[in-house]
Amino acid sequence: MSAVYPIYFAGVAKSSGIAGDVWWGYATSAASLLIAALSPFIGAIGDFRGMKKRLLAFFLTVGVIFTLLMAITDHPVLMLVGYIFSFIGFEGSILFYDSFLTDVTTRDRMDRVSSYGYAMGYIGGSTIPFIISIALILFGGHFGIGGALAVKISVVMTAVWWALFSLPLLRHVKQIHYVDTPPARLVRHSLTNLRKTISEIFHNKKLLFFMIAYFFYIDGVGTVITMSTSYGSTLGLGSTGMILALMLTQLLAVPFSILFGRLSGKIGTLKMIQGGVLIYMIICLLGFYMGFSLEPHQRAYENAYNNAVTQADVPLDQATLSAIKVKGSALLSRPDRAEAFASMIDDLSLGKNPTEKARLEKLKSSVTVFLKDEQQAKGFTDAINFSTILFWMLAILVSTSQGGVQALSRSYFSKMIPPERSNESFGFFDIFGKFASVIGPFLYSFFAAVTGRSSIGILSLLLLFGIGFAALSRSKKQAQ
């Protein structure tokens, strides 16, 4: 979902004259804010006997239903609504899934179990359905399945896959650690335990500084995951190349997640997390350079296209002319841009009177000549090719640290909390992560909107990783 759907949404949004990456970022922030506000309370409720699995099942159901909604609409607002509630369902279920770590293993095995969990998740939860989705998108045309339909089928498959492979957990995993309380006192005891947990966090400096660090660096990690393909799509990178690069990320993340778990036993969990954060700082710098070097060429070619439309000097109403400029700009990065533009004009001609059709035909002939001029497009084409290589490099760098940082953060936190109150503690762990997830996409969207350059949005994420690294160093000193 994080690889394929943002590209599809960005295309739909751009055709409607909307900045897809900006609104995707705002939607991610809104969803993160909602689940963050709920996390401590529902986490505290989940600590009581029998509640952990029930709440996991509830959020799972919400996520699956709204993921299916995303497959049946092409209205940008409804697509974002489906995404927001699908996100809430996923993150809510993950809160309880993570807290089961204290129920399924012992403290000395947490790093390894958590790392293997992420590795297996990349294989079964990401790579297999991802490969099927890519096959549909790339080869579905041979069987009458267009690109849009392939994406929708992939979204439906994701929802079914998610529900189906959650069944073993729901059937076989038991909540061993819990707080026993009468149902009538559930809310009252939840609030009491919340106050107690807050007090304990603030008195445990090692835990406090780790959670502050986690607040910032996991925000950056999550933003890179959710915004990568939207960022690349906005820059005009080919969707097929980006999807294949992210498939490589999923494949390489399996051995690297396991490697992180093993090295943590030799080097130390905190040092491995710090190493991963440093790699993400390099990713931000490289991602910024990728966009910063491409954007001037992209803007120049878009301006040249708009001038070509204007200079065709065809008497069309302003709304039609604006639609041609907006929709045509979304086609400029395609190798077959001239053919795609001609097809777009043919679609616009449907239902027009003979005079309007003749005017559109004249415009098509004039602008198609411009779009076929390879010399005009050379600077933009060369910049896209170079940025595509950088995107592949970024995909490999992300694979080295993405799973490892998340897995070790989960296990390191699990070692510092009482197992019978794991849900409540993970509720705070989650709220730190999710409130942070509000900041990252918002930073990206804000700086991209204000500066008009998405590359500045990516660069702003350096601030999050820098603060996170500094707080990790402080937590390390408190542990010594």
DSSP-assigned letters across all residues of 232-269: HHHHT--HHHHHHHHHHHHHHHHHHHHHHHHHHHHH-H
DSSP state of 4: T
CA dihedral 400, 402, 405, 408 (to 10 degrees): -90
Helix, strand and coil in the chain, % to nearest 5: 85, 0, 15
pTM: 0.72
Residue with tokens 């990568």: 228
Whole-angstrom distance, CA of residue 366 vs CA of residue 370: 7
Place of tokens 């079964």: 124
Contact 437, 87 (CB under 8 A): no
**Residue type, position 149, single letter:** L
What is residue 165's predicted lDDT score, i.e. its pLDDT? 87
Residue 179, strand partner residues: 48
Whole-number Å distance between alpha carbons of 398 and 224: 9
Contact, 137 vs 148, CB < 8 A? no
What span, in angstroms and rounded, lies between the C-alpha atoms of 84 and 81?
Answer: 5
Q: Pick from 226, 201, 380: which is nearest to 303 by CA?
A: 380
The H or E element spanning position 16 is none
Query: What are the structure tokens assigned to 360, written together?
Result: 């559109």
Rg (CA), the chain: 24
| Spatial separation of the C-alpha atoms in residues 126 and 250, rounded to whole Å | 7
CA distances from 85 to 78, 79, 165 (A): 11, 10, 20
Q: What averages of pLDDT result for each successive group of 10 residues across the chain (480 residues)?
A: 74 76 80 79 72 88 92 86 91 82 77 78 72 79 80 88 88 74 56 67 80 88 79 77 79 85 86 93 93 89 89 83 85 87 88 86 90 88 89 90 85 76 65 67 87 89 93 77
Our CA angle for 200, 204, 210, nearest 5°, is 115
Beta-carbon neighbour count of residue 435 at 10 Å?
Answer: 17
Distance CA 220, CA 461 (A): 6
Q: What separation in angstroms does the CA of 132 have from each of 3, 126, 136, 141, 402?
A: 13, 10, 6, 14, 22
**Distance of CA 52 to CAs 57, 59, 104, 174, Å?**
9, 11, 14, 9
- What's CA 365's distance to the chain center, in Å? 40
